[in-house]
Chains A and B, each alone.
Chain A
Amino acid sequence: MSPRHVILETLQGGYHGGAESRLMIHEGTCGTATNVRQEVERVGLIEVCEENDVEVVYGSCDGNCWAAPSATLRHENDASEFVEKRFSRLDELIRVEDFGVLLNGMQRGQGFVDGKSGLLDRLGRLDGSLEHAVWLGAYSNVDQILRGSKSDALQRIEDWKLTGRGGAHFPTALKWRLASGNEGPRYLVVNAEEGEPGVFKDRHLLEGDPHRLLEGILICCFVVGIEKVFIYVNGQARAAFNSLSKAVEQAKAAGLLGPEFLPNGLRVDIELRQGAGGYVCGEESVILNSIEGARPVPRFKPPFATDEGLWGRPTVINNAETLAAVTTLWQDEPPPTKLVSLSGNVARPGVYEVPADGTLSWAGLLLQAGGEPGSTPAILLGGPSGVFVIPERYDEKIKMSEVGAGGLVALAPDSSIRSVVQALTKYNLRESCGECTPCREGTLRLDALLSVDTVDFDKVTSLVEVMSEASLCMLGGMAGRPVLSAIEDFPTIWKGKA
């Protein structure tokens, strides 16, 4: 048995402390914001669990944010198959006298298994130990990949057409190839800044399944030949930062980052950095400057990061979800998915997985989340840099090339599109870093042009053209997108009182 196998088997074997039946209380950011601990007390859950030999564990949100405060009762057998029942908003648990009956049924195999797969698979299921993560499949792909060649791995990523999940959808395999073609040392920067309003999927991944990101990181380091990794986490995403720090420590202590586990003497050092706010601080070259200790403003491109990134060295910069998604490409029937953060006027807002092969329509997604396509005037896709998806398009399939980072807000029936657009423009104005004139002045002018009673389309259009052509980064470059989209799709709302 190879040393790598020994490490993984030892970890797997280490997971037997857990009781067969567990109640996972979904704490994390969503649970905390809905007082899950107090709610658990209020409905007397801990006592009931004690009476029924159910172990109580605290874990993360499972992506069903709408259900918070929530808990999942899970019965797991030796083959790590389980049946589970989610208690949404803990309402159902008020009838705790039925708890024993329910549990009894589950022990006999009755119940349902949540249909989660791929990226969200382990979210809200883990007890926080590395052993449990490995038990549920973490690092099993990296094991398989490390046995193969780098070019096989790259080919796989290319075949599945994985593209960047940070918004720009650049082909991931190409980015890795470009960096590995340049002489080392090379760096990997993980973009977990997640500063685009309306997006919350990276936080969920980091809080709920940090080892999936680490597994993706190891694959990238192996393929590109990288020994130094920076993970740049949003400064306010404290829970995500803590969960990730803990996971890095666990992986290090278990030897997963060193030559005992990685081939060719590879040793990976992972350093966490915390951001300090600002939409533009998620832009890749801003992150590079920030890590170096320089002013957090964008760099001119070219040179691209794969040629000259951190300290002038070849650097891969990937969104956290991109790296996590890499790990799903080795499953039997790997359906690459894209996480979307869906909020607004739907009954079940949360994190959803959209198939990348374009088999789900906008209407389908809305329905899945308990929305009503018939009374949703538009979906805002991509926040302040986004566009509106209008009802005429709801039956179209969702294409990867258009989802950006996947922030979707279903607008309410009575909402004013015009005020939404104005609010987004004001947001861009506030967030403009001021480094280049087209954006610094342009966002100001755009806001002014939209604030008059009757908007002059020609002026808006030519201003937006200048901004998108001449801005240093895509904050300015895309600030006019929601405006043009709304002018095209809702031409009548721009006359009369602003």
Chain B
Amino acid sequence: MSEWRRPLEIADHEMREFISELSMIEREKQYLLPSFHLAQEIFGWVPPVAVEKIADFLRVPLSEVYATLTAYSELRIAPDEKDYWFICTGVACEMKGAQNIVQQLADADEFKVRDIDCQFLCSLAPVCVDDSGGLHGRVEVSELISGIRESQTGGE
């Protein structure tokens, strides 16, 4: 079972905030993507209740709203999984030993780490993204391991 960063139920105060912010947006179809961004900013993902509110408010058929939502890779239709760090394996990072980093972390076998495509910080390769989305350049395996270890086991 995956652990979820947030409970699937939506907190009342988040929903209230979402509805009040949404009501400030112009009721036109062109504001579909901005509305998704708003939901993701508040909830961390775009939950079904928010999708329905958006469809209603912008007067766009629900099926169309979902079709659009699911076409964007950065919009999340489920809550984020917890704690993952990401190692960029784009070409520039590969040239600076990304595979080696991925391998060493896999060997250590205690971390939640995944590969990720180019993060557009290629000039500071190799690059990683921490569990709160922060970018780090010119990462070194030892520092990375202690960083991840701290964040993934530090709370225990």
Chain A residues within 8 Å of B, Cβ to Cβ: 29-30, 32-34, 65-66, 68, 194, 197-200, 203, 234-237, 273-278, 281, 290-297, 341-345, 349-351, 380, 383, 409-412, 415, 420, 423-424, 427, 430, 433
Interface residues of B in 107-156 (CB under 8 A from A): 117-125, 127, 134-138
Assess whether A34 is in contact with B137, with CB atoms less than 8 Å apart.
yes
* A423 and B87 alpha carbons, distance in the complex (Å): 15
Assess whether A423 is in contact with B95, with CB atoms less than 8 Å apart.
no
Knowing A274-B37, A341-B122, the reply to whether A33 touches B127 (Cβ < 8 A) is: yes
Assess whether B137 is in contact with A277, with CB atoms less than 8 Å apart.
no
Assess whether B137 is in contact with A33, with CB atoms less than 8 Å apart.
yes
Assess whether A349 is in contact with B71, with CB atoms less than 8 Å apart.
no
What residue of chain B has the Cβ atom nearest to residue A31's Cβ? B137
B94 at the interface (CB under 8 A from A): yes
New A-B pairs, 9, CB < 8 Å, besides A66-B124, A351-B123, A415-B94: A32-B135, A200-B123, A274-B34, A276-B73, A293-B32, A296-B71, A345-B96, A409-B92, A423-B94
What residue of chain B has the Cβ atom nearest to residue A351's Cβ? B123
B28 at the interface (CB under 8 A from A): yes
Assess whether B91 is in contact with A295, with CB atoms less than 8 Å apart.
no
Offer 15 A-B interface pairs, CB within 8 angstroms, sorted by A. Answer: A32-B135, A34-B138, A197-B117, A203-B120, A276-B37, A277-B73, A277-B74, A278-B73, A281-B72, A291-B30, A291-B33, A345-B96, A349-B124, A350-B123, A380-B91
Q: A30 contacts which of B37, B64, B137 (Cβ < 8 Å)? A: B137
Q: B121 contacts which of A33, A278, A345, A380 (Cβ < 8 Å)? A: A33
Assess whether A349 is in contact with B123, with CB atoms less than 8 Å apart.
yes
Knowing A199-B120, A276-B36, the reply to whether A420 touches B71 (Cβ < 8 A) is: no
B5 at the interface (CB under 8 A from A): no
Assess whether B73 is in contact with A409, with CB atoms less than 8 Å apart.
no
Assess whether B135 is in contact with A197, with CB atoms less than 8 Å apart.
no
Chain A residues near B119 (CB, 8 Å)? 236
What residue of chain A has the Cβ atom nearest to residue B40's Cβ? A276
Assess whether B74 is in contact with A295, with CB atoms less than 8 Å apart.
no
Q: B124 contacts which of A68, A275, A281 (Cβ < 8 Å)? A: A68
Chain A residues near B82 (CB, 8 Å)? none
Interface residues of B in 49-85 (CB under 8 A from A): 58, 60, 64, 67-68, 71-75
B31 at the interface (CB under 8 A from A): yes
Chain A residues near B91 (CB, 8 Å)? 197-198, 344, 380, 383, 409, 420, 423-424
What residue of chain A has the Cβ atom nearest to residue B137's Cβ? A33
Assess whether A198 is in contact with B89, with CB atoms less than 8 Å apart.
no
Assess whether A200 is in contact with B74, with CB atoms less than 8 Å apart.
no
Assess whether A343 is in contact with B122, with CB atoms less than 8 Å apart.
yes
B90 at the interface (CB under 8 A from A): yes
* A33 and B71 alpha carbons, distance in the complex (Å): 29
The distance from the CB of B12 to the nearest CB of chain A, in whole angstroms, is: 27
What residue of chain A has the Cβ atom nearest to residue B122's Cβ? A343
Assess whether A66 is in contact with B123, with CB atoms less than 8 Å apart.
yes
Knowing A278-B72, A293-B29, the reply to whether A410 touches B95 (Cβ < 8 A) is: yes
The distance from the CB of B123 to the nearest CB of chain A, in whole angstroms, is: 3
The distance from the CB of A274 to the nearest CB of chain B, in whole angstroms, is: 6
Q: B125 contacts which of A203, A297, A349 (Cβ < 8 Å)? A: A349
Assess whether A409 is in contact with B122, with CB atoms less than 8 Å apart.
yes
The distance from the CB of B55 to the nearest CB of chain A, in whole angstroms, is: 12
* A281 and B34 alpha carbons, distance in the complex (Å): 15
> Top 10 closest A-B pairs, CB basis?
A277-B74, A65-B123, A197-B118, A343-B122, A276-B72, A293-B32, A343-B92, A349-B123, A293-B29, A33-B137
* A291 and B29 alpha carbons, distance in the complex (Å): 9
The distance from the CB of B99 to the nearest CB of chain A, in whole angstroms, is: 9
* A273 and B122 alpha carbons, distance in the complex (Å): 24
* A292 and B31 alpha carbons, distance in the complex (Å): 8
Chain B residues near A296 (CB, 8 Å)? 68, 71-72
Chain A residues near B120 (CB, 8 Å)? 194, 197, 199-200, 203, 234, 236-237
Chain A residues near B32 (CB, 8 Å)? 293
* A427 and B29 alpha carbons, distance in the complex (Å): 31
Chain A residues near B122 (CB, 8 Å)? 197-198, 200, 341, 343-344, 349, 409
Assess whether B67 is in contact with A295, with CB atoms less than 8 Å apart.
yes
What residue of chain A has the Cβ atom nearest to residue B99's Cβ? A419
What residue of chain B has the Cβ atom nearest to residue A430's Cβ? B117
Chain A residues near B118 (CB, 8 Å)? 197-198, 383
Knowing A198-B92, A410-B95, the reply to whether A235 touches B74 (Cβ < 8 A) is: yes
What residue of chain B has the Cβ atom nearest to residue A386's Cβ? B91
* A273 and B25 alpha carbons, distance in the complex (Å): 13
* A237 and B90 alpha carbons, distance in the complex (Å): 17
The distance from the CB of A307 to the nearest CB of chain B, in whole angstroms, is: 20
* A450 and B125 alpha carbons, distance in the complex (Å): 27
Assess whether A277 is in contact with B95, with CB atoms less than 8 Å apart.
no
Chain B residues near A237 (CB, 8 Å)? 120
